[in-house]
Amino acid sequence: MPAPPKSSSGVPLWGQFPAGGRSLLRDLPVLAAGFAIFYGLLVFARYGIGPVNTQAEIQLAPGALPKYAFFSVTRIAIAYFLSLGFTLVYGYVAAYNSKAERLMIPLLDILQSIPVLSFLPPVMIAMIGLFPHSQLGAELGCIVLILTGQVWNMTFSFYSSLKSIPREMHEAAEVYRLNWWQRLWQMELPFSAIGLIWNSIMSVAGAWFFLMACEMFTLGTRDLRLPGLGSYLQTAANQGDTHSIAWGLAVMVAIIVVIDQVVWRPAIAWAEKFKFEQVEAAEPTHSPVLDLLRRSKLLPLVARVSLRPAGEALNLHFSRSAMAAAGKPQERKSTDWIWRSLMAVGLAATGYAVFRMTQMLAQVSSAEALGIVRGAGATFLRVEATLALAGLWTIPVGVYVGLRPKLSALIQPVAQIAASVPATALFPVILLFLIRTGGGMGVGSVLLLLLGTQWYILFNIIAGATAIPTDLKEVCGVFRMGRVERWRKLFMPGIFPYLITGFITASGGAWNASIVAEYFRFQGKTLSTVGLGAVISQATDAGNFHVLLAATISMAAMVVTLNRLVWRRLYGLASTKFKLET
């Protein structure tokens, strides 16, 4: 009889499986969740490779909600993991390559300011063109649109964290001669974990916020709709079916609560160990799901058999590559030529795109240009008023909640639900209230912008307050600092980098949300107000791509100008004066 396989430590792998019944029962939920995710991905993949059905009939019966909810959650999950990969690559390069940083950060400002509907025509046309005979093209287009609504604040958070790493940590990495892979896993990702997790929560909430626009939209004469919770809510809103809206929102809230308890609460509790402090927190965050995973016998076995050897192999590979690169500096010349060739191709493509855009912009009439200018001014005032109103309450509330882990465990799912509910699902109730009280779309658009963007600031402030070291808080107690002095010397400096990240992403999110807040359909009627978001929505519906391009460029130019004049300077202050180091 052959001997049982053994691990690297010499212990038979079979013997590492849980022997007791209780241990097996603890692993049953983990196994069940793994098989459920695998089966769900198979179902979604089979649907994706099926025939084209972009105008599927959306049923408003409550029995259709489980299937629609599953499809929406799958799209959001795929878009999130793609966003996370983009965040790590883009943020890392921008933080450590000064030449690339001068181009990549302004480009990130531009990308985050472009509304989802402005991405819609090129993304959907390209994806459907790539897969014209299967549902995969429309699904990939929807996933990319969701990605454009959630990736930018994650990238800004990771970039800000990398720029804020204390100098002594970099010096320690130099002393221990860590390669870039070891620095990423042992220093950079742990240091940025808290901010990245809280911004991930906000990103997923933003995906729910724009889900209705991503799953059901009009592109010229084409009516595109995909089965999902967003298209269900949009169909119910178009028909004025408040009963179906209530059912859809109830299912959405239930899903958000489950995801919070199963994913985000364990992630927040796990990230507590990465706080930059020397004193353990008095009230650490707990999660029953994380406790279950830590007691599991199966997950450590999987890590020992697959993940750990893969990590060691990657570490060895990059260490050898670093040593070889250090010994052969002449190879950098060929790399330089490769980069120059890529830059030349990129510049040529950019020049051609600028030429084509100039031709399209030449079609904009003087009346359309005047409408874009008026809309830009109106939306600018709404966005700045929204940021001011959001900052008034999110700064004190965010610090108060972030300093109290038990309270944070209660408030976070509530805030996540409020941030995730689509504005178009709430707007009928808000609009009816404003009509009865004498308000209108002007006031309603500000309220909707506030509902869609205040959470970027709140979640970043909570993350900043959570990351304040416990030893610094205890020092304030030892010196008996008053409330005002603590705010001036500890709380505001501690949350300042996170606060600037929150305001930058909230500003871009507010401009993005204007397409929903300034242009709305309800019960067969279209309600709008003067604004750049309304111009973009109207141009998308009518297929006026030249107006859409001009309005999008105007919005991006205003956001980038504001970021360069105000937020970027504050970013520099946050990464120098308020960096946590000795």
Of 291, 112, 267, residue with least CA distance to 194: 267
b (16+ CB within 10 A) / e for 210-244? bbbbbbbbbbeeeebbbbbbbbbbbbbbeeeeeeb
Tell me what pLDDT residue 79 has: 92
Q: Which helix (H) or strand (E) holds 526?
A: strand 525-528
CB atoms closer than 10 angstroms to residue 569: 12
Residue 228 is given by DSSP the state: S
Look up the pTM and report it. 0.71
Low-confidence ranges of the chain (pLDDT < 70): 1-27, 29-31, 33-35, 38-41, 43-56, 115-118, 217-223, 276-285, 317-336, 339, 419-432, 434-440, 521-525, 575, 579-582
3-state class (DSSP) for residue 250:
helix
Q: Which fold has domain 22-32+66-275+365-574?
A: MetI-like fold (1.10.3720)
Using CA atoms, how far apart are residues 477 and 483, in angstroms rounded to an integer? Answer: 11
pLDDT for 12:
43
Check if the beta carbon of residue 6 is closer than 8 Å to that of residue 13. yes
Look at residue 521 and give its three-state secondary structure: strand
Cα separation of 253 and 417, whole Å?
Answer: 6
* Per-residue confidence (pLDDT) for residue 13, from 0 to 100: 41
**Crossing angle for the helix pair 229-239 and 242-259, to the nearest 10 degrees:** 160
Rounded to whole angstroms, the Cα distance separating 128 from 220 reads 15
Tens of pLDDT, residue by residue over 295-351, are 777 777 777 777 777 777 777 766 666 666 555 554 444 556 776 777 788 778 878
pLDDT confidence of residue 435: 60
**Residues sharing a CB contact under 8 Å with residue 51, sequence separation 6 or more, in sequence order:** 133, 134, 135
Q: What's the farthest any 2 CA atoms get from each other in the chain?
A: 87
* Confidence (pLDDT) at 528: 76
**Nearest CA among 189, 124, 118 for reference residue 149:** 118
Strand 222-225 versus strand 216-219 pairing type? antiparallel
